[in-house]
Every structure is written in C-alpha cells, then in structure tokens.
Amino acid sequence: DAGVTQSPTHLIKTRGQHVTLRCSPISGHKSVSWYQQVLGQGPQFIFQYYEKEERGRGNFPDRFSARQFPNYSSELNVNALLLGDSALYLCASSIPSGASTDTQYFGPGTRLTVL
C-alpha cells in the first residue's frame, strides 16, 4: 500500500513569496496533520484537518493556512515567506481510529528553502 505522499520534494523560494505544499494521505485515512521540522529540532505541530474541518492549530502565525479536500488530500499554504520558514514540512495521516488511539503516519516531507 502507498504511504503518505507529499509534493514537491524540494522547493526554493525568496522572501515575500508564497508557497503551496501538497499531501495525499494513506488510502482510507481521513485526517491530515502538518508539522514543521527545523534542522536539529523535533517536528512542531501546525494544523490538523479531519473531514475537511480544522481540528487543531499550533502556535503559528496567520501566514500559515491549510485546507482539506473531499478526497482527504490537503494543502498547506504559507504567505509572505520569511527566512525562518526554511524547514522540512511534514504531513501525517491517520484514520483516526478514535480520539484516544489516533496514530499518525508520516510522509517524506517537503524541504522548503527561503532565500
């Protein structure tokens, strides 16, 4: 079975631009979460979407937004890019099997470099 897929793999942008990252969950998974992983740190939670609705948001500015489509794929959008947005952006999918037993499976990530 295919795992979580993300596109593009790598992306280079300049400050002030915007970017759209895409994620396709594992077949049958209805929830998608986004994380930012800066070099040398663990992933930081950005958003969770379930059934096209936002179910959670981390401590990120409004420049970050996301949405989920009827086929459960998702997009993460970042506006007015800053140098500090350079990171690996991870998508994770889960069924979920229940509020207390949700297990997230991660994709390979999109490496964003902001110059």
Nearest approach, Cβ of residue 101 and another protein (Å): 5
Residue 9 within binding range of another protein, rule CB under 8 A: no
Per-residue mark of binding to another protein, 60-89 (x: CB under 8 A): ------------------------------
Q: CB atoms < 10 A from the CB of 22, how many? A: 15
Q: Which residue of 68, 74, 93, 104 would you call a contact of another protein, by CB under 8 A? A: 104
- DSSP letters for 34-73: EEEE-TTS--EEEEEEETTEEEEE-S--TTEEEEE-TTS-
Is the Cβ of residue 24 or residue 81 nearer to another protein in the bound state? Answer: 24
Contact by Cβ (8 Å): 101, 2: no
Query: Residue 85, by phi and psi: left (phi above 0), alpha (psi -120 to 50) or beta?
Result: alpha
Q: Which residues bind another protein (CB under 8 A)?
A: 3, 31, 33, 35, 40-45, 48, 50, 55-56, 58, 90, 92, 96, 99-109
